Amino acid sequence: MKHTIRLFIGIVLFSNLFTFVYASAPMVQTQVPGFYRTHVGKFEVTALSDGTSELDAKLLKNIQTEKLKHSLSDMFVQYPNMQTAVNAYLVNTGDHLVLIDAGAGNLLGQALGRILDNLKAAGYTAEQVDTVLLTHLHADHAGGLIDTNGHPVFPKAEILVAKKENSYWLSKQTSDHASAELKPFFAMASHIAAPYIANKKWTTFTANTVVVPGIKAVSIVGHTPGHSAYEIESDGQKLLVWGDIVHSHAVQFDKPSVAFAFDADAQQAVSTRLKLMQSLATSRSLVAGAHLPFPGIGHINAKGNETFQWVPVEFH
């Protein structure tokens, strides 16, 4: 009997041990912080994810519906709600800590607004940023400049925006004559800019000027009146941060003639995109885009005179 009891106890203990060792682990559910580090010469460049959102594919213009569906399907992108990334780029030149675009902040829903958390995860703080360069004044690029109370998120930073962009979005006269669809865009731009203007931290620049040593503003108008790219150069290496030249990587590289509904001047936006892609494919320069799959950094390969391929960087 004693042997039977001992055997039973042993089986129970072994069974419990077996269950403990092979128990299912709970799902973690969270993603890793969204930052990616690389170098351009002596400069450190950190891509920061603001999150992703869904855009209605019908916002893409100059393409038939069936061709649009086919292009998206080929790249495994859903229709009609296609996912798009929102990225920003932090440049440490050694003398300056420069943020190019600031994400959406709290203005466009909970799927976005992660720039600040990812900035901290990447080892920096908002107080260390001394310059913010805006590609344009749409809320998904500038909304992260302010918190929920409308206070500056980057208290020590000088905010730089193209003069043409500033004159358009912050003009009361232009806003008064804007369509009902566009009026909220003007209101958000004014709301974002107000605390920095009050603190004398809001500065404009003319096209194609050096805004920070090693960083040059490049006019790429079309998407907005003062849309700007920023060419980063150090030790002969270059990276062009081009803002909203592309909203759909699945469609607009292969078909640059496809416009976007929120392009201020669709014809000019198409022309700018085509010329820029041709130039970058020839120079083989590195590119970073706000709405390219994170980290949004890579090269452009020419498949034809007006057909291109996006080649993303590999993690290293």
Would residue 238 be called left, alpha or beta, if left means φ above 0 and alpha means ψ between -120 and 50 degrees? beta
Does residue 213 surpass a pLDDT of 50?
yes
Model confidence at 17, pLDDT cuts 50, 70, 90, reads very low
Cα(145)–Cα(153) distance, rounded to whole angstroms?
A: 5
Q: Is the pLDDT of residue 2 over 70?
A: no
CATH number at residue 47: 3.60.15.10
Q: Say whether pLDDT at 10 is over 60.
A: no
pLDDT value, residue 8 = 46
**pLDDT single digits (tens) 264-312:** 999 999 999 999 999 999 999 999 999 999 999 999 999 988 999 999 9
Judged against a pLDDT cut of 50, whether residue 63 lies above it is answered with: yes
**Average pLDDT taken over every residue of the chain:** 93
- Lookup: tokens for 147: 């918190």
8 located within any domain: no
Is 117 within a domain?
Answer: yes
pTM of the predicted structure, to 2 decimals: 0.91
pLDDT exceeds 50 at position 7? no
Burial class (CB in 10 A: 0-12, 13-18, 19+), 284: exposed
Per-residue confidence (pLDDT) for residue 23, from 0 to 100: 57
What are the tens digits of pLDDT across the range 138-192?
999 999 999 999 999 999 999 999 999 999 999 999 999 999 999 999 999 999 9
Please state the rounded mean pLDDT for residues 110-118: 96
Q: What percent of the chain has pLDDT over 90?
A: 88
The pLDDT of residue 76: 96
Residue 239's pLDDT is what?
98
Q: Is 68 a domain residue?
A: yes
Tell me whether residue 4 is in a domain. Answer: no
DSSP E strands, 57-191: 60-61, 81-92, 97-100, 131-133, 158-162
Domain count, the chain: 1
Which one of 4-8, 20-24, 70-74 scores highest in mean pLDDT? 70-74
Instruction: Find the farthest-apart pair of alpha carbons in the chain and give their distance in angstroms, rounded.
Output: 98
- Whether 220 shows a pLDDT value over 70: the answer reads yes
Is the per-residue pLDDT at 12 higher than 90? no
Q: Which domain does 232 fall in, by range?
A: 34-312
In a domain, 138, yes or no: yes
Q: Would residue 25 count as lying in a domain?
A: no
Residue 24: per-residue pLDDT: 82
Distance (Å, whole) CA 50 – CA 39: 21
